[in-house]
Structure 1
Amino acid sequence: MAIYHCSVRVFSRAEGHSAVAAAAYRAGTVLHDERRGFTHRYHQRTGVVDTFIMAPAYAPELTRDRALLWNAAEAAETRKNARVAREVILALPYELDLTARKTLARDMAAYLVERYRVAVDVALHSPPSDHNGGKDGHDPRNHHAHLLFTTREVTIEGLGKKTRILDDKEHGPQEIEAIRAVWEALANAALEQAGFEARIDRRTLMDQGIDRIPEIHIGPEGKAGREERATRHKDTDQEDGGEEDSGSTSSSGGSGSSGSQTLPPASEDDDGDDTEDEGQSDQQSGKQGSGDSKAPAPAASKEAEAATSQPDEPLNGNHGFFLPQINSKPCRKA
């Protein structure tokens, strides 16, 4: 039965987060953090199925290069408590094949590009191979996507004004609920098109009238996860003095399930790892390096192409992406 999860989180310097570290971890690559002088090495992590960056058609070249993009996002912020990135985390329907899951993640990224005029760095993750019937704690259904996006609008010159609407006390919760509604509609359309009867539902089990305690969908228990990470990231290099760079501040609209399980809160990483991953990778002293940062750009679906070809004009909430009525106001807010 299809599982619903869509949460929004923020990465803040006040919590010791780094947009470069977050991007490197999710893409499973090596990126050098120019602001901190650290090199984040995640090239040996497993489970990264595909990565690509989406941005408006008028965006400059830096938005096509992972290292340039996230170092620019860090350089644009001067405050010690600045928010340097946001992320939408999605549970991809395990009923779909890989091609359909990629298309679905791309369509959701296209919605974010059009709605907020940001650059979106997409990473598709697959669950670890499960050869012992789930006894290792891994859920073989845990296909998911990380959509890491800038907190500033993309302009012809680079990164421009902050996208304040998601931080707004009055309209922020409506925006997050709209994102969750868009994901529900896109995923259900994909399931229907693929011929599956399963559907996801963003409402809680209580709101759905289901009298059952939700179960945990993903990940091994904490100790096992930490031991696995320690082995996986042994070769990670970083100069000393760093702080943890994992994303843990959550701005989630909650989660519900049409199946028997739901996911943990957004403060836990959705591939079964605690949010210490990026922080631990940044804390060991060693040599600097520069990594592969250019992400391939797979051919976009029709919806994605429509979203990325929009002119540099204010948005008005009419996107053709199942946008709910509760969110018909412009997304630009001073």
Structure 2
Amino acid sequence: MAIYHLEAKIVSRGAGRSAVAAAAYLSCSRMLNEYDGVQHDYTRKQGLGWRQVFLPATAPAEWQDRETLWNAVEETETAKDSRLAREFVAALPIELSREEQIQLLQDFIKEQFVADGMCADAAIHDPYPPGHNPHAHILLTVRPLDEKGKWQYKTEKEYLCVKGGEERGFTAAEFKQAQADGWEKQYQYKVGKKKVYMAPSAAQAQGYERVSKYPKSTKYGRQNPITERWNSDEQLVLWRAAWADVANRHLERTGHEERIDHRSHAERGLLEQPTVHEGVVARAMEKKGIISDRCELNRQIKADNALLQELRGQVKKLAQAVKSTLPALAEAMENLRKNLLLFCYQLGYLCKGKERLNASLNTLRPALTQYNQLAKDIRDKTKERRSLLTEKKALSAVHVFRHRELAAKIAALTEDLEELRSEKNLLLASLAYTEEDATDKFPKDIAAMEQSLKRLEEQEQKYSTELDAALTEYAGLREQAQGFNRVQLYEARQAIRPGKEQEAENRAQEVYGEKYNPLLIFDSKKAVSRMLHEDIERQAVRRMMRQAHKEQQTFQKKKSEQER
């Protein structure tokens, strides 16, 4: 089934990335980055389905070679934290053939990027097994090109000039005209013990000394309007919508009914909870038989959503139906009760999941705090020991007592360090973490658990809302029941109730498979019974039956007396 996924990233030198490396990965090729002399080789990577470079009309023809193109980008960006490229990763509809996927990608890139002046480098990756997860990587330049195929500026220095007490910003090109109109740049002048920005004419009139040759300017300069638009959140929303439009156009053209939507569940008015991104590491763990928290959470979310959609539809149908006969009303009430059982089962299931996560977090959070404190103590004592060793080494042989004193301190620190390291290793071993995992995986696992907990709480809120709605509908059916014999309705419901409860159990087993918990369904029956006040209803019906039995006995007695 076609899914919507369009992820936007920035390839930044400040984050340790390079455009050449990204292009080499994208194209599964070997490329030399002339900026730092590093050779990037991805020729062994498998799953490449297609690749192509797209250029606007003004770009140099030699940029059709991607190595030349991205080295030109690296050469232009000189700052150590430069933004080098923009990257999109898009899921391709599996309903389309490879040729149709390529045509979809070409149309999207040409319409949205190349037509707007960007150079684009794109590829399709289809990792094993083929057809399971075909996706596209699109690498884009972030500087506009002028008419001669030269890179334009991203930002331009903007000088803050003054005229008649008013301050205004001008670029170097604009300042020529502004200077003719009486605007002046501002420089720092020494006024007493302070440094103050002033116009040269005002400073010279008062005899102040200039202390800097650099004029006052805005902190970040003035951004190129084209670059500013490309970097805006509004433009990203437009690109996301455009991907959905182009993909749906191609799906419709090829005769497929599936469609994708770039809007979030909330924007589309859906109650279903979106799944979380699993990633290659989580999927690899699952292939080895290791349960991944992310994959497990997604399985639960998918099961929740499927059951929630089914139950909501059933509740709506039951609410709209008018029950004119006693058997029909009994059937409707027991069907709705069956749905309430499933709602309660799911809420109990979510509650168990939250309990497990909270238990893990209650263990891991203090452990992380303890680990961080141990690591800090080890660093501090290591630094102190190193300092003492340096001091001891620098002392001459005549300082015997100081040597002994330092040796004793060093020995004590060494012993403390061994104890701290031992305590740290024991802590990690108790949590099944290695030293390498501790600084990265440990906090990430806690963050993932906290995210999973938040998801489960959101699901719980959704189910609680649906449960309340179902109870409201049940109250409506009870009102319809006022016109029927209460005892007869009760007996009719009791006759079909075991079958309906068995249907609920079978449905829960079908949805949750090995995760099905019979104790939860037992607890759900008790919870539904409490919510519907069935004990009170049972007692009332029994009283009515006893009363009817007494009346029947009295009638029979009178009849016998009359016959005598």
TM-score > 0.5 by shorter chain: yes
Question: Match for residue 252 of structure 2?
Answer: 192
Q: Assess if the C-alpha contact under 8 Å between 2:28 and 2:44 holds in 1.
A: yes
1:143 to 100, 111, 134: 134
Q: CA deviation at 1:50?
A: 0.6
Structure having the higher Rg: 2
**Residues in 2 aligned to 1:33 and 1:158: alpha-carbon distance in whole angstroms:** 21
> 5 Å matches for 1:175-214?
175-214=235-274
Q: How big is the shift at 1:6?
A: 1.4
Check conservation: 2:144, 2:227, Cα contact below 8 A. Answer: no
Residue of 273, 276, 281 corresponding to 1:221: 281
* Per-residue CA distance 1:165-213 (angstroms, 9 max, x = gap): 6864997011000101111110000000010110000111222222222
Partners of 2:241 and 2:3 in 1: CA distance: 14
TM normalised by structure 2 equals 0.36
Q: Encode CA deviations 1:59-95: one digit per residue, 9 max, x unaligned.
A: 2123201110000000001111110011122111111
Q: What amino acid does structure 1 have at the position aligned with 2:266?
A: M
Q: Post-superposition shift, 1:223?
A: 8.7
In the alignment, the residues of structure 2 paired with residue 49 and residue 169 of structure 1 have an alpha-carbon distance, to the nearest angstrom, of 32
- The 1-side partners of 2:73 and 2:81 are apart by 14
Counterpart residue number, 2:57 = 57
The aligned counterpart of 2:430 is none
How far apart, CA to CA, are the structure 2 residues paired with 1:177 and 1:197? 25
1:1-334 aligned within 5 A: 1-129=1-129, 140-155=131-146, 156-162=148-154, 164=224, 168=228, 172-216=232-276, 219-222=279-282, 224=284
Q: Report how many aligned residue pairs link the two structures.
A: 220
Aligned equivalents of 1:18, 1:185: Cα separation in 2: 31
CA RMSD of aligned residues (A): 2.8
Deviation at 1:18, TM superposition (A): 0.3
Give the SS at the match of 1:159.
coil
Structure 1 residue identity aligned to 2:7: S
SS of match in other structure, 1:160: coil
In 2, the alpha carbon distance for the partners of 1:223 and 1:10 equals 25
Where structure 2 has 5 or more consecutive residues not aligned to the other structure, the ranges are 155-222, 289-304, 307-564
CA deviations 1:242-276 (Å, max 9, x no partner) are xxxxxxxxxxxxxxxxx99xxxxxxxxxxxxxxxx
Q: Is the 8 A contact 2:144 2:226 kept in 1?
A: no
Q: Answer 1 or 2: higher relative contact order, Cα 8 Å, separation at least 6.
A: 1
Contact conserved, 2:30 with 2:41, CA < 8 A, in 1?
Answer: yes
In structure 2, relative to structure 1, the CA distance for the partners of 1:195 and 1:33 (3 Å cut) is same
Partners of 1:122 and 1:217 lie apart in 2 by: 23
Partners of 2:91 and 2:226 lie apart in 1 by 21
Paired with 2:55 and 2:261, the residues of 1 have a C-alpha distance of 29
Q: Which residue number corresponds to residue 401 of structure 2? A: none
- Secondary structure in 2 matching 1:84: strand
Percent of aligned positions that are identical: 35
Maintained 8 Å contact 1:165/1:172: no
Offset at 1:35? 0.7
In structure 2, the partner of 1:314 is none
The 3-state SS of whatever aligns with 1:215 is: coil
CA distance, structure 2, for counterparts of residue 170 and residue 105 of structure 1: 19
Please identify which structure carries the higher helix content: 2
Cα distance between partner residues in 2 of 1:99 and 1:203: 27
Instruction: Quote the Cα distance in structure 2 between the aligned partners of 1:96 and 1:217.
Output: 23
